[in-house]
Amino acid sequence: MNLDFSPEEIAFRDEVRAFIEQNYPAHLKGKAMREDLSRDEFLAWHKILGKKGWSAPAWPAQYGGTGWTATQRYIWLEENARAETIAPLPFSVSMVGPVIYTFGTEEQKQRFLPGILSGEVWWCQGYSEPGAGSDLASLKTKAVREGDYYIVNGQKTWTTLGQYADWGFFLVRTDSEAKPQEGISFLLIDMKSPGVSVRPIKLLDGGHEVNDVFLENVKVPVDQRIYEENKGWTCAKFLLAHERAGIAGVARSKRNVEKLKAIAKAEIGDDGGPLIESPDFRAKLAQLEIDLSALEMTELRTLAREQAGKGPGPESSLLKIRGTEIQQRLTELTLEAVGNYAQPFPRGLGDNEFSIGPDYAGPAAPIYFNWRKASIYGGSNEIQRNIIAKMVLGL
Amino acid sequence: MNFDYTEEQSMLRDSIAKWAAGQYDFEKRREALKSEDGWKKNWATFAELGLLAAPLPEDAGGLGGGPIDIAVVMEEFGKALVVEPYVSTVVIGAGALLAAGDDAQKAAHLEAIAGGERIIAFAQAEPKSRWALNDVSTTAKKDGAGYVLNGQKAVVLGATQADYLLVSARTAGGQRDEQGVSLFLVPKNAKGVSTRDYPTMDGARAAEVYLENVSVGAEALLGAADGALPLIERLVDEANAAYNHEAVGAMRMMTSSTQEYAKTRKQFGRAIAEFQVLQHRMVDMFMHTEESVSMALLATLKLGESDAERAKAVSASKVSIGRAGRFIGQAAVQIHGGMGVTDEMRIGHYFKRVTMLDSTFGNADYHLKRYTALSAKAA
Ligand SMILES: Cc1cc2nc3c(=O)[nH]c(=O)nc-3n(C[C@H](O)[C@H](O)[C@H](O)COP(=O)(O)OP(=O)(O)OC[C@H]3O[C@@H](n4cnc5c(N)ncnc54)[C@H](O)[C@@H]3O)c2cc1C
C-alpha cells in the first residue's frame, strides 16, 4: 500500500496538464463556477475532449472509454479541477451513457453513445415529479403502449438545464397495477417531440438552471425504451449510484479551497491584518482541509474497489453526503470571507453589468444560496443516510 | 420583570401586521421591489402608521416611544420581509441627531423623519474596512468654517432612497485610530457626491458612495469633531439590536411555515413531518428561534446600560442570532426540498434576509471576538 504516483503516472499527469493548457478555450477560463453559461459554453470543452477520445474516462474502452486506471482517472479529475475547466455534463457522460451501454441493445448503443461522447447531444434527466421527489418510485407520468409507440403524459420537474436539452431520459409508469418499483420503464425522449414543453423555474439566487417539463400525448417509439418494460427501476437505481459518486466533487472542492485561501489573503480580517492570518478563520480553513482529506482518502478507497470490478454501491451515499457537506461549507466560508461585499446582487445589475467590490465577492452569496441544492438533489442527504442505515448497516 | 408589550405597542404591532397582510403580501412586495419607486408608497404608509415617529421624542414630532417600539416594528418587518431603510433613518439617523445634534440640526431633520420626508443612509463601511468601525480612510479636511470630504463608502444600505448621508470621516489621526473620527450629515445632492446603485441579495437597495471634494458647511458636522467613535459604536449597537428583532420575525416565519409545509407535504405515503429526523430538526429550529427571541430582548433591554454592558449584550445577541439564522435558514430550505431553493417560495427569501442581516455590522464571528475582547477588558 502506498500513495505515491509512479513515474508513468507522473508522466501521464504532465501529458494531461499540457493537453489542457494547450486546448482549453481561453475565453472559458475562470468561468466554471460562474453560472449562466450558454449551451455552447457548456459544451465547448466536452467537444474538444470528444475529438481527443477523452470525454468519458470512466467508460469501458470498448464503448469509447479511455482505458485509464483509477489513478489516472483521479489525476485527470485533479488536473481539470486545477485548470477549472467546465466539466462535461454529468447527465450524458456519467448517467445515461452508462445505462445505455449496460442495459441497451446493440442498436441503441450505436445510435446514442456517439452523440454522448462527442458532446453534440445534450441530455437531461426526467426523474422527479411534483409529487415524486424523495419517493421517486411513486412517479405518475404514464406511458401507454399503442403499437410501436408509447403515448406519454405527465409532468417532470427540477429538470436541470432542460432548456438546452436535445434528449431526455425519463422514468415513466407502464404498469399502474404492479408494485410501484415494478411498473416503471426507462424511456429516451427527443425533447423536440410534439407535446414536450419546458417551463423555467427561477431559483433563489435568481438563476435559471431547472425547469418543469410537461409531456402531453408525446409519441415515443418503443425502440427508445432501455431494457425491459417495467424494469426501468433497475436502470434508475444503477444510474443514481453513479450520479451520487459523481456529486462528491473532491477535486473541485480541493481547487475551491485554494481559491478560498486566495480570497482570505486579499481580504482584511477583523483585526486589520489579512484574513488568512486571523486564527479563527485559519482554524476553520484547516478543519475544512482535514474533512476534505478524509473524504478524498475514502473516495480513493472506493475507486480502488471499483477498479477491482465492484461498481459503486450504497457506499456512494457516503461520498455524496460528505462531498456536498464540504461543498456547502466552502460556500459558507467564502461568504464569510467577503464581508460586506456579500450583499450586492450581481444578477440584479442589469445589462451593462459592472462588478461591485472585488471580482471574487460577487458570486459568493449567490453560490452560497444556490448550493443548498446539493444536499437536496441526487437524493437528499436524509435519504442517503436512510440508504446507508438500511443497505450498509442493515438497521 | 415584565415582558409584556403596552397596549400602544400591541396596537402598533397589529397595525403593521394588518398593513402587511393587505398591502404587502408576497406578490405586492415583489412588485414594489421591482419598480423604481415602489418603496415610496410604503414609506408614506410608515409615516401614516406612526412607525417613523414611534421612537422619537414628542418635542421632535415623535410619539415618545423607545427601543421596545422599534423592536415591535422590526419584528413585524421581519415577518413581512420589509427591506426599506428604516434602521438607517430612524435608529441611526435620528439616533445620531438626538445624541449629538444641536437645536438647529434637530429642527432641520427630526420632524421631517417623523413625517416620512427624510430618509438617511449610514455611509460608514469602506471597501477595506470590513466591520471595524474605527477603520476610516475617508477624510474630512477643515476648510474655512466647513469641511471638504473625500473617499469611498461601501455597501451603503438605503443610499438609493436617501436624501441625506450620515458619513463617518477622519478629521485627524491614522486609518484605524480611535480618535479623529467625525460624523457629517451630507445632502446626497451635494456637489461631488456620486453613487453606484444596486440591488442587494435580499431585495434591498444599496450603493457605493463616492465623495470627491465634497464641500459642506459647519452645520453638517454632528457633535464634536474627532470624537465620534463612541457614538458610532452606540448607534451600530442600536442598529444591531433593531435588526435582531427583524431576524427574529423572519425566524418565526421560517420555523412555522416549515412545520406547516412538513405537515402537508407527503412522500412515501405519509407527511414528511412524521419522519423523526425532520422532527428533531424542526425542534432545533424552534429552540434556536426561542433563544433568539431571548437574546434579541436581552440586547434591547440593555441598550440603556453602560457602554461596556450594552456592547457585550449586543455582541452576544449577534453571535446567537447569526448562528441561529444560519441553522434555521438552512434547515428550512432543506425540509422544503427542491421547493426550498426556488424564488417562488417565501422561505428562500427569509433565508436570504437573515443571511444578509448576519453580515450587516459584523457577523457572528466578528461579534464573538468583540465579546471576548470586552470580557477580557472587564476581567
Ligand atoms: C437544483 C436542483 C436540480 C435538480 N435536478 C434534477 C434533474 O435534473 N432531474 C431530476 O429528475 N431531478 C432533479 N432534482 C430533483 C431532486 O432529485 C429532488 O429535489 C429530490 O429528490 C428531493 O425531492 P423533493 O424536492 O420533492 O423533496 P421531498 O421529497 O419533498 O423532501 C422534502 C424533505 O423531506 C425529507 N425526506 C423525505 N423523505 C424522507 C424520509 N423518508 N426520511 C427522512 N427525510 C425525508 C427530504 O430529505 C427533504 O428534506 C433537482 C433538484 C434541485 C434542487
Query: Which atom number of ligand 1 is nearest to the Cα of residue A382?
Result: 47
CB-CB under 8 Å, B337 with A134: yes
- Residue in B155, B196, B272 nearest the CB of A341: B155
CA–CA dist B239, B254 (Å, integer): 23
CA distance A197 to chain B (A): 20
pLDDT of residue A302: 82
CB proximity list for B181: less than 8 A, separation 6 or greater: B134, B136, B168, B169, B170, B171, B173, B226, B227, B228, B229, B232
For ligand 1, whether the C-beta of B10 sits within 6 Å is no
CB-CB under 8 Å, A376 with B337: yes
Q: Of B341, B356, B357, B365, which to mutate for an interface test with A (greatest number of A Cβ within 10 Å)? A: B341
Ligand 1: centre distance to CA B42 (Å): 38
Q: For residue B51, with 0-12 CB atoms within 10 Å meaning exposed, 13-18 middle and 19 or more buried, which class applies?
A: buried
Mutate to test the pocket of ligand 1, among A215, A321, A376, A387 (most ligand atoms within 8 A of CB): A376
- Complex-level ipTM beyond the 0.85 threshold: yes
Question: Architecture of B7-118 per CATH?
Answer: Orthogonal Bundle (1.10)
Residues of chain A with CATH 1.20.140.10: 248-392
The CATH class of A123-230 is mainly beta
Domain B230-378 sits in which CATH superfamily?
Butyryl-CoA Dehydrogenase, subunit A, domain 3 (1.20.140.10)
A258 carries an active-site annotation: no
| pLDDT reading at A68 higher than 80 | yes
pLDDT of residue A33: 62
pLDDT of residue A307: 72
CB distance B51 to B74 below 8 Å? no
The half-sphere exposure of B188 on its side-chain side, counting CA atoms within 13 A, is 23
Ligand 1: centre distance to CA A375 (Å): 9
pLDDT of residue A195: 98
Q: Does B359 touch chain A (CB under 8 A)?
A: yes
CB contacts of A201 in chain B (<8 Å) are 342, 344
Q: For residue B244, with 0-12 CB atoms within 10 Å meaning exposed, 13-18 middle and 19 or more buried, which class applies?
A: buried
**A320-338: per-residue pLDDT in tens?**
999 999 999 999 999 999 9
A15-22 contacts at long range (C-beta below 8 A, 24 or more positions apart)? A16/A75, A16/A76, A16/A79, A17/A79, A17/A82, A17/A83, A19/A52, A20/A79, A20/A80, A20/A83, A20/A85, A21/A83
- Mean per-residue pLDDT, A5-25: 96
CA–CA dist B199, A345 (Å, integer): 6
What's at B97, amino acid-wise? L
Ligand 1: centre distance to CA A381 (Å): 9
pLDDT of residue B372: 97
B277-280 contacts at long range (C-beta below 8 A, 24 or more positions apart)? B277/A382, B277/A385, B278/A382, B278/B335
SS3 A165: coil
The residue whose CA has the least distance to atom 24 of ligand 1 is A133
Question: Architecture of B121-226 per CATH?
Answer: Beta Barrel (2.40)
- Mean per-residue pLDDT, A292-313: 81
Domain ranges in chain B are 7-118, 121-226, 230-378
CA–CA dist B354, B248 (Å, integer): 9
**A272-297: per-residue pLDDT in tens?**
999 999 999 999 999 999 999 999 99
For ligand 1, whether the C-beta of A158 sits within 6 Å is yes
pLDDT of residue A245: 66
The residue whose CA has the least distance to atom 1 of ligand 1 is A373
* pLDDT tier, A312 (very low <50, low <70, confident <90, very high otherwise): low
CB-CB under 8 Å, A157 with B338: yes
CB contacts of B202 in chain A (<8 Å) are 343
For ligand 1, whether the C-beta of B278 sits within 6 Å is yes
CB-CB under 8 Å, B277 with A157: no
Q: At what angle do helices A7-23 and A39-52 cross, to 10 degrees?
A: 140
Question: DSSP string spanning B219-245?
Answer: GGEESSTTB-HHHHHHHHHHHHHHHHH
Query: What is the third-level CATH fold of A248-392?
Result: Butyryl-CoA Dehydrogenase, subunit A; domain 3 (1.20.140)
pLDDT tens by residue, chain B, 379 residues: 788 999 999 999 999 999 999 999 999 999 988 888 889 999 999 999 999 999 999 999 899 999 999 999 999 999 999 999 999 999 999 999 999 999 999 999 999 999 999 999 999 999 999 999 999 999 999 999 999 999 999 999 999 999 999 999 999 999 999 999 999 999 999 999 999 999 999 999 999 999 999 999 999 999 999 999 999 999 999 999 999 999 999 999 999 999 999 999 999 999 999 999 999 999 999 999 999 999 999 999 999 999 999 999 999 999 999 999 999 999 999 999 999 999 999 999 999 999 999 999 999 999 999 999 999 988 7
Residues of chain A with CATH 2.40.110.10: 123-230
